[in-house]
Amino acid sequence: MNAQTLPGAAGNGASPDAEPILAVENLSASYGAVRALDNVSLAVPAQGLCAVLGANGAGKTTLLRTLTGLHRASSGRVLLEGEDITRLPTEKVITRGLAHVPEGGGVIVELTVEENLRLGGLWRSDRRSSTTFDEVMDLFPPLVERRTKTASTLSGGERQMLAIGRALMGRPRVLLLDEPSLGLAPLVTKQIFTLLRDLRDRIGLTVVLVEQNAAGALSVTEHGYVLNQGSVAAEGPSDGLLADDRTRHAYLGF
């Protein structure tokens, strides 16, 4: 099964030399009797922008949740910078440098904008924490004036920014994003995608972007994986996937 759906995965055409910063090896996960992930393998190079695409129920969200320990893997491994993090509890995974912005952002609407951001950096408990706060504020000017307001007053786009900002407060190496474009206007979506690219260029962040908006995600990333019914149905350079009519029609629906 794995061998058929993952041609060339063992050699990993994307970055033949560099060891991937995030490696997923034959990862499987289930909800009761339903297998949500079936032998999924990915290799994300450091400072790469990687898209994970697929229809509803293809396993994209489960993949991210399993990576950060919110869902338990039934088999397989997750390696972050060569270290096995598969069985670590979520709060430990985060401190290893893997941040996860869940679907909808997971902003805590009862807390203020500033409290949400500070929360993301609390575990660091080092002096740099306040510089990070200023840096994050600089990235998102709309949040500055809302600083003392509760997050419930923010628009969808602002919430997504806050969620990303909170994740950045922990100075992660790898950022996992679950459908940041969900419910956002196309222009705002574009801003967020552009921001991801900026972050990679400026602070060397590695990004794994889960999206249903396949065209948008492929245009901003370098490499893409297409999930179908819990396994990798296709993978390759983003422009290649974008140009490949068969993959597009079969899995991406455009």
Partner 1 sequence: MNYFITLTLNGLASGAAYAALALSLVIIYQATRLVNFAQPALALLSVYTAYTVTQLTGSYWLGFAAALTTGLLVGAFVERVIVRPIARTSQLNAIIVTLGLLLVVQGAVGMIWGNEQHGFRYAFSYVGRFSPADVFSLVAVGVVALLLFGLYRFTPLGLRMRAAAFHPEAARLSGVKVGLMLTAGWGIASLIGALAGMLAGPPFISPNVFDVVFVFGITAAVVGGLDNPFGAVIGGLLIGLGMSYVSGFVGPELATLTALAIVVIVLSVRPDGILSRPTARKV
Instruction: Provide the binding-site residues for partner 1, judged by CB under 8 A.
Output: 68, 70, 89-91, 94-95, 99-102, 106-111, 115, 118-120, 122-123, 150, 152, 166-167, 170
What length is written for the chain?
254
Query: How near is the Cβ of 239 to partner 1 at its closest, in Å?
Result: 32
Residue 209 · residue 224 · CB < 8 Å:
no
Beta bridge partners of 60: none
Question: Which phi and psi (to 5°) does residue 81 adopt?
Answer: 50, 45
- Report the C-alpha gap between 98 and 121 in whole angstroms: 13
Q: 115 or 244, CB closer to partner 1?
A: 115
**Residue among 22 and 220 whose Cβ is closer to partner 1:** 22
The DSSP call for residue 104 is: T
- Residue closer to partner 1 by CB (options 57, 106) is 106
222 residue type, one letter: E
Residue with smaller CB distance to partner 1, 68 or 206: 68
| Torsion of Cα atoms, 152 then 153 then 157 then 161, to 10° | -70
CB of 176 to partner 1, least distance (A): 10
Minimal distance, residue 127 CB to partner 1, in Å: 14
Supply the minimum distance, in Å, between the C-beta of residue 174 and partner 1.
Answer: 13
Please report the beta strands in 57-106, taking only residues with DSSP state E, as ranges in sequence order.
Answer: 75-80, 83-84, 98-101
